[in-house]
Structure 1
Amino acid sequence: MTTSDFDSYRPPEDGPRRRRRPSVRGAAAGAARDLARSGRTWLNRDGGGAREAPAVPDAQFSAYYGQAIIKAVPWKHEIPAYLFLGGVAAGSGIIASGAAATGRPALRRNSRYTAMTAVALSGAALVADLGRPERFLNMLRTVKLTSPMSVGTWILSGYAAFAGVTTAAEVVRAVPTKPGSVVDLAKQAMRIADAPAAVGQALFGPPLAAYTAVLLSDTVTPVWFESRNQLPFVFVGSAAMASGGVQMILSPTAETGPARRFALLGVATDLVAMHRLEHHLAELELNEPVETGEAGRKLKLAKALTVAGGLGTLLSGRSRALAVASGTALAAASALTRFGVVDAGMVSAKDPKYTVGPQKRRLEQRRSSGTVHDSIVTVR
C-alpha cells in the first residue's frame, strides 16, 4: 500500500457558520471536530481530518476466515530423517578423508561405510517424501543456482558419486585376490581412483551439511526464515557431532582421536549457534515455538544430550564404554535437533501471530528509519 501527499491534504474549514439549534446530528459533528482538534483521524487517529467520526475500529490480526495465513509444509518424519542422515553422511565423509590421509585404516573403513549407508538412506527418505523416484531424477534435468532444492540435489548426487567410489575401493581392498586376476585389476584401478574420490567426498561434505538449512530458511515459514543467519551453523555443528559420535561407537578407541575432536568442535558450534538462534527469535517474539510444546521438549533434550555427550567425549580417553555412551548421546542430540527445528517451523506456520508480528516490526523499522511513503512489510 502506498500513500502520496494528496492523502494528507484536508480542505480548509469554511467561514463562521450561523448557530444552529443543538441536535443529535450537530452533536456528532461537534464530536468529530473535537476529534480533529485533538490530532486524531478517522483512519489512524494520529492527525488530520475535520468532520469525520471514527468509522473503522483498530485492526486486530487473526486467521483469515479461520484459516492460517500461510500453509505449513506437509512434511512427515521422512524429511527430518533426511536432514539428520545427510548430516551424518557429510561429516563421515570428512572423517574418512582425514583417516585415509593419516593412516587410520579402521576409522577410514568404518567412516566410508557409514557415509555410503547414510547418504543412501537419506536419498531413500527424500524419495519416500516425494512419492515417486522419477521426481528426484527430474530435478537433475536442470541446474538452477537460485533454487536451494536444485543446488542441493546436485550436491547430494555429487557426494553420493564420490562416496560410491571410495566405498567400492574399500570393498575391493578387503577382497583377497590373485596377481593378474580380474579382481586384482579392479583393485589397482580403485587404488588409483581412491585418492581423488576421497578429496571430492571431503569437498562435498560441508555443502551437504549446510544446504538443508538454506533449504528451510528459503521459505515463508516464520521460524525458519527468521533463523536464516544462524540455522546453517546449527546444522553444520550438528552434523559434525553426529558423525563423530557414530565413529566413536563403531571404531576402535585407539583410532578415534580425530573423530572425538571433530565431535567436540561440532558440540561447541551447535551450542553457540543454538544460543544465538534462540536469542534472535526471542527478540522477534518468535521464541515460543522453539521453547514450548513437542518441539521445545525435543530441543531441550537435545541440548542436554549435547552437553552430556560433549563432557563424556572429553573424558572418554581410552574408555570404550564411555566413548560409546557419549557417541550415542551426540547422535541422538543431532537427530532431536533436526526433528525439533522442523516441528517448531510447522507450529509457527499455523499460528497467524508469528507471521503478522514480524511484518509489523519490519514496517515499524522502515518508518523509524524515515521510509514513510509506503507500507510494504515483505521486504527481507
Structure 2
Amino acid sequence: MTTSPFDNFRPPETARRRRRASGVRGAVSGAAKDVAKGARRNWMNREGGGQREAPAVPDAEFSSYYGQPVVKPVPWDHKISAYLFVGGIAGVSGIIQAGAAATGNAVLQRNSRLTAMATVGLSGAALVADLGRPERFLNMLRTVKLTSPMSVGTWILSGYAAFTGVTTATEVLGLLPARGPLRSLSRVLAPVAAPATVGQALMGAPLAAYSAVLLSDTAHPVWHESRRQLPFVFVGSAALASGGVQMLLTPLAHAGPARRLALLGAGTELVAMHRLEGHLAQLRIDEPITSGTGAGTLRLARALTLAGGAGTLLSGRSRLAALASGAALATASALTRVGVVEAGIESAKDPQYTVRLQKDRLEERRSRGVVDDSIVTVG
C-alpha cells in the first residue's frame, strides 16, 4: 500500500451496506463522521471534501510573466523628454505673444513669437528623430483619429506651427526694410496677422497639455494612474519654463507679465506634483517617483522651482536675479519632464506595480460583493 500527501484531498467514500445491524450502525456512524469531516473541508478552499476532486496545487503567487514585464515599456529616450519640454515652451509662448499683442508690449510680443517659432521647430525635429524617418510623421497626417492622443497631438502641433509661421513672418518682416518683394509680402500677411495671433493662442494651450494625455493613455502604471494630475503638472511646468525663457530674453521693463506667469506656473506645478505623489502613495506605486530612477531628477527639479520662484519675486529690479531665476525655472521644467518619463518607464519594467494594482482592484471588487467575474485591469 502506498501513501501520498495528496491522498488527503480525495473525496470521502460512501459506506457500503452490511448485512448485520451492527455493521449498518457502524456504517452510519462512519458516514456521519465523513460528513462532519467534509463540512470542515471544502473543495473550494483547496482542502478536499464533497464529491469533487480538489486542485492538488497551491494558489499561484503571480509576480511576473515568465520573468518579463507584464507591460512592454515604450522604447523612448531623452529625445521624447526634449520633445515634451520644448513643446510646452512653444505652446505657452503662443499665449504670451497674444497677450503682449493685446496690451501693446511690442518687445515681449517679438521675443515670445520668435521663441515659439524656434521651440516648435525643435519640437518637430525631436519627434521626427524619435520616429526615425520623416515620412512617418507625414503618414500620421493622412487621417484624424480622435481616440488617439498621438494622432490628435500631431494635428495640434501642425496647426500651431502654421499659425506660428504666419505670426513669426509678420514679426520678422517688421524688422526688415519694406522694399521690393518684402513690401508685397507684408501686404499679403497683414490681413491674416490678427487671426493667426488668435489661432496661435488657442492652439497653444492644447499643445502644452496634450503630451500629458499622451502619456496617461498608455498602460504604464505611474502615467496611467496619474491621468488626473499629470496635465496640471505639464501645463504648470510649461508656464514656468516659458516665463523663465522670457525673463532671460526680455528687459525688466517689459518682462512683468512673464514673471507673473512664471510664478503662477511654479505654484501650479508644485501643488500638482504634491497631489500626484499623494495619489500614487495611496495606490502603493509611488516608489518610481519617490525613490526610483527619476526620483533624484524630480527632487532637483522641485528645488530649482522653489529657488527660481523665490528669485522671481525679487527679480523686478535686478536683471541678474531675473537671469538666474529664469534659467533655474527653465532647467526645472526640463528636469520634471525627464523625471516623469523615467518614472513611467521604470513602473512598466517592474511587474510588481502592474500586479499590485490588479490585486488591489480585485480585492476592492470582492469587498463590494462582485465575485462573478475577474476584471482586474480596468482603472
TM (norm. structure 1) is 0.88
* Distance apart, 1:60 and its partner CA: 1.4
Query: Does the 8 Å CA contact 1:71/1:350 hold for their aligned counterparts?
Result: yes
| Structure 1 equivalent of residue 97 of structure 2 | 96
SS at match of 1:294: coil
Residue of structure 2 equivalent to 1:197: 196
Tell me by how many angstroms 1:124 deviates: 0.4
Q: Relative to structure 1, is the Cα distance of residues 237 and 31 closer, same or farther in structure 2, using a 3 angstrom cutoff?
A: farther
The question of 1:225 aligning with 2:224 is answered: yes
Change (3 A) 1:32 1:353: farther
Q: Structure 1 unaligned runs (5+)?
A: 1-10, 21-25
Q: Which amino acid in the other structure matches residue 102 of structure 2?
A: A
8 Å contact from structure 2 (residues 12, 49) kept in 1: no
> What's the CA shift string for 1:59-109, capped at 9, x where partnerless?
212222221111111111111110001001011111111111111111111
Tell me the equivalent position of 1:110.
111
> Following the alignment from structure 2 to structure 1, what is the Cα–Cα distance between the partners of residues 197 and 275?
34
- Is 1:143 aligned to 2:149, yes or no? no
Q: What is the correspondence of 1:153-168 to structure 2 with a 5 Å cutoff?
A: 153-168=154-169
- 2:182 is matched by which residue type in structure 1? V
**Stretch moving more, 364-373 or 87-96:** 364-373
The answer (yes or no) to whether the contact 1:254–1:318 under 8 Å persists in 2 is no
Q: Indicate the residue corresponding to 2:134 in structure 1.
A: 133
SS in 1 for 2:284: coil
Deviation of 1:167 (Å): 0.5
Give ranges in structure 2 of 5+ residues lacking alignment.
1-10, 18-22
Distance 1:342 1:286 in 2: 15
2:56 alignment counterpart: 55
> Per the alignment, in what secondary structure is the counterpart of residue 74 of structure 1?
coil
1:349-372 CA-to-partner distances (Å, cap 9, x unmatched) read 111110111111111222222322
Please give the per-residue CA displacement for 1:188-241, whole angstroms capped at 9, x wherever unaligned: 332322211110000001100111111111011111111111111111111000
Q: CA deviation at 1:268?
A: 1.1
Please report how far the alpha carbon of residue 15 of structure 1 lies from its aligned counterpart in structure 2 after TM superposition. 6.9
**Could you tell me how far apart the structure 2 residues matched to 1:288 and 1:301 are?**
17
Q: Which residue of 1 aligns with 2:87?
A: 86
Amino acid at match of 2:267: A
Matched position secondary structure for 1:146:
coil
- Which range is displaced more, 128-137 or 56-65? 56-65
Pair 1:236 & 2:202 matched: no
Give the distance between the partners of 2:375 and 2:48, measured in 1 at CA. 22
Deviation at 1:52, TM superposition (A): 5.5
Deviation at 1:46, TM superposition (A): 9.8
User: 1:130 offset after TM fit, Å?
Assistant: 0.4
Could you tell me which amino acid in structure 1 is paired with residue 305 of structure 2?
Answer: T
Instruction: State the match for 1:5 in structure 2.
Output: none
Name 1:273's counterpart in structure 2. 272
* Letter of the structure 2 residue corresponding to residue 120 of structure 1: G
Could you tell which deviates more after superposition, 130-139 or 191-200? 191-200
1:48 to partner: Cα distance = 7.9
The answer to whether the 8 Å contact 1:43/1:56 transfers is no
Q: Determine the C-alpha separation between the residues in 2 that align with 1:56 and 1:108.
A: 71
Mapped to 2, the partners of 1:202 and 1:48 lie a distance apart of: 72
1:187: Cα distance to partner?
1.9
RMSD: 2.5
1:365 corresponding residue in structure 2: 364
More displaced, 81-90 or 356-365?
356-365
Distance 1:373-1:134 versus aligned 2 partners, 3 A rule: same
Q: Deviations over 1:31-54 (max 9, x none)?
A: 9975x544x645545998577566
**Alignment-mate amino acid for residue 150 of structure 1:** S
CA distance in 1, matches of 2:228, 2:259: 27
- 2:236 and 2:58 mapped to 1: Cα distance? 49
Matched letter for residue 264 of structure 1: L
Distance 1:50 1:194, change over 3 A: same
Residue number in structure 1 paired with 2:73: 72
- Distance in 2 (CA, whole Å) between partners of 1:222 and 1:341 is 12
Partner of 2:347: 348
Structure 1 269/16 Cα, relative in aligned 2: closer, same or farther at 3 Å?
farther
Q: How many residues align?
A: 358
Q: Deviations over 1:323-370 (max 9, x none)?
A: 111111111111111110110011111111101111111112222223
Q: Distance in 2 between matches of 1:155 and 1:342?
A: 21
User: Does the Cα contact within 8 Å between 2:170 and 2:189 map onto a contact in 1?
Assistant: yes
CA pair 198-67 structure 1, distance change in 2 beyond 3 A: same
Change (3 A) 1:47 1:261: farther
CA contact (8 A) 1:149 1:215 kept: yes
- What is the CA distance between 1:319 and its match in structure 2? 0.8
Q: Using the alignment, how far apart are the partners of 2:307 and 2:101 within structure 1?
A: 30
C-alpha change, 1:48 and 1:260, in structure 2 (3 Å) is farther
What are the residue-to-residue correspondences of 1:303-342 with 2, within 5 Å?
Answer: 303-342=302-341
**In 2, Cα distance between the equivalents of 1:310 and 1:65?**
48
Indicate the structure (1 or 2) with the bigger Cα radius of gyration.
Answer: 2
What letter corresponds to residue 104 of structure 1 in structure 2? N
